[in-house]
Chains A and B, each alone.
Chain A
């Protein structure tokens, strides 16, 4: 048994292309440091791996970063996900980043440049610094090159003993020293924190609840609630209203709940706004008895604004025809 901390392991194999063998990624630590959060992990091929000449694990100096300028690099993203707080903590961007020139965003992480002659059976420790997290975050889900290790405890302080990070560091031989000055001078760390959205629906996709740190939206499918171009609730509407009311209550919807109507982009803007307003009013009146006493349901119609799907397909237009009940999470927007 290794004596180094092992918080989770995943197999990395992104493609079946000839020559790419499965690497093992091992998570060793998630640590708060001043100005950031460090992910310590190692990657290597088992000793039995014969062909290590083609080593494609989405990992180089650039790819660990979730790039703000070039999102394609997120395909190999390393990041921390606070699912309870619905925040994603992505790579800090160092000062002097030249992403607008190179197309890649730099990161504050181990530098693999110039390394060669990889040998199977050796696991190399790598670090990457992502955005700082509040002390209230006790555990996170960790993404290493797109593979998830769930429910990892967050500790404080860098892992020690620290060793020279400019040379390869084998597991057990210390931990790469973090470039604290680079962390301190990182560019707008708040921009490395991204809102997470969760989505849960009923089996028929007639009631979809989406949650972000700032709001919860329970969307009712207009196609079930109303006939085409009508604001009169259909006989089938009651089931949908009951499901939506249950979801609103489960999500803690009390107080003021905004009821907002939307349409697809078919028809004139003025007609769509009027139709969506009338539909929102119909839903508000019908669902109020099903909710907690005392809730207020102000209504509005936004027509074709704020689509949740492209209006270029029939399926997308169906999703956009909706009435949403919108409210802040319990305790207010986070």
Chain B
């Protein structure tokens, strides 16, 4: 397993600078409806077969996120190492979806206590690991451990995953990450998160 440091979950101060508070002004856009649709090869109409454009925000935003299928209890650290993780927390697995070329883990993290984690939540006794380094999928039958996919930019190595939250509290924070494809015979995996009990989850395909 690679132990390269991932800037992805490091100090989030820099990220805050680029995470803008985006206030969307949409009130005045009704006039856009006057535009006439135009067809082109390979295009997809903006609205229904009638060709009339209409605001479909309500239907799109009515989507309900999937609910967790499993959960595990553990602890988060709110202080840098070598301080141990002491704050009780819950990790809930929403899905492990296996495809032909990748596997996607979706999960969420919460704590009854508000924790400013500063990106060091998954500290372990042997060093600082950001969660992309530390969260694995384990196939106990095939005896394989799958690490998060990474991409190598010139400056550093980054995970193909969500950033780690700078703050965890009662309202769960959702994250996803990408792993190598599982063997076609794998029907369940163990999700292993440092400082949390391993949790077995059925794989969806």
Contact = CB atoms under 8 A, between A and B. Distances in A.
Nearest to A26: B60
Given A148-B176, A173-B46, 11 more contacts: A3-B56, A9-B60, A71-B7, A75-B15, A112-B20, A117-B23, A168-B29, A173-B55, A196-B150, A200-B147, A310-B4
B43 to A, nearest CB: 4
Which secondary structure dominates chain B's binding surface? Answer: loop
B97 A150 contact: yes
Interface string A197-212: 1111111010010111
Nearest to A84: B101
Nearest to A314: B126
A24 B61 contact: yes
A194 to B, nearest CB: 5
A161 interface: yes
Interface stretch (A42-50, A263-271, A283-291, A294-302): A42-50
Given A24-B63, A309-B3, A310-B5, A159 B43 contact: yes
A325 to B, nearest CB: 17
Which secondary structure dominates chain A's binding surface? Answer: loop
A70 B8 CA distance: 12
A68 B153 CA distance: 8
Nearest to B38: A161
Interface in A45-98: 45-47, 52-63, 68, 70-76, 81, 83-84, 88
B145 A201 contact: yes
Interface in B3-60: 3-5, 7-8, 12, 14-15, 17-29, 32-33, 35-49, 53-60
A143 interface: yes
Contacts of B161: 146, 148
Contacts, number: 353
Contacts of B163: 14, 58, 75-76, 146
Interface string A142-166: 0100111011000111111111100
Given A16-B110, A124-B24, A157 B181 contact: no
A103 B166 CA distance: 21
Contacts of B28: 167-168
Contacts of A6: 60
User: Which of B43, B53, B138, B154 is packed against the most chain A CB atoms within 10 Å?
Assistant: B43
User: Which of A31, A157, A197, A212 is packed against the most chain B CB atoms within 10 Å?
Assistant: A197
A55 B2 CA distance: 35
B68 interface: no
Interface string A1-27: 111111001111111110000101010
Given A10-B176, A116-B23, A157-B40, A172 B57 contact: yes
A2 to B, nearest CB: 4
A269 to B, nearest CB: 23
Contact of A46 (B19, B27, B62, B172): B62
